[in-house]
Amino acid sequence: MRALHTTPKSRRSHLVFADRPFQGEGASLYVSIGTRVVYRALRSIGGRIAQMGTFSLGGDVAKTTRVASGSSPLTSLSVAVDTDWHSETIAVDVRRYKDDVENTTDNYRVGKITLDSGGAEVNTIYGSATALSVEQRDGGVCLIGIVFEQSPEGLQALTLTAIRTAGPTSPADVVLAADPGRQTYYFETPALSDASAYTYKIQAANGAVTVDVLTGLSVTADATGPTAPASGSGVAW
């Protein structure tokens, strides 16, 4: 009797990854360019391999994007500044792990650091603002309302200034103190012309460090007011 021999048309690969980044107890340091941390390099392993980034299946395949780690007890983690981070804002986070399980807090209050072309930290303000409203008042005065949120990272804004960037006249800037715990601010402009609209920006400052947190605010004043009545009469009561 002749034995039949069958050759499979495809052979399924079984890949085993032995990396155990979270064995024991310690912490991992993650750094990503931008304002959010990427903790894992996304990969799909099957009959074909799709990947983000480059790695060789013939060598080590890391399961995380961490740049440093340490075993407990530890008080700090450090890593040399990569040249790819120069002139960039980087997001930094630390996750703790124990017995092959990592704390998966996702981008919660990560650290943000801005670096110059030489890799040195640049002092900056990370607070953000949202426009609320622009309201007309009499005599050409306008009220500009915003919400400003301080950031726990970087420098804290000490002042907020409404600055005219375009318009028919050159009104003085309006400066408000950026108070801790306060979010809503209203800037009362000087008397503006109603010949055409103005454009304003809001600038946050801490000493010599400034950042524009809102730009392109359109402000239209009503300096003329309603037409005076031609005549009138009263009725006793």
Average of pLDDT values for 105-122?
A: 89
Selected residue with higher pLDDT from 111 and 200? 200
Which token pair is 94?
């630390």
At residue 49, does pLDDT exceed 80?
no
Selected residue with higher pLDDT from 11 and 113? 113
Average of pLDDT values for 49-71?
A: 69
Average of pLDDT values for 52-72?
A: 73
Tell me the residue length of the chain.
237
Regarding the domain delimited by 128-219, which CATH topology (the fold level of the hierarchy) does it fall under?
Immunoglobulin-like (2.60.40)
Domain extent listing, the chain: 25-121, 128-219
Which pLDDT score, from 0 to 100, does residue 115 have? 93
At residue 17, does pLDDT exceed 70?
no
Asked whether the bond before 229 is cis by omega within 30 degrees of 0, the reply is: no
Taking only the tens place, the pLDDT of each residue in 149-191 is 998 888 999 999 999 999 999 999 999 999 988 899 999 999 9
Which token pair is 230?
């031609």
Calculate the alpha carbon distances from 149 to 61, 153, 160, 189 in Å: 41, 12, 11, 22
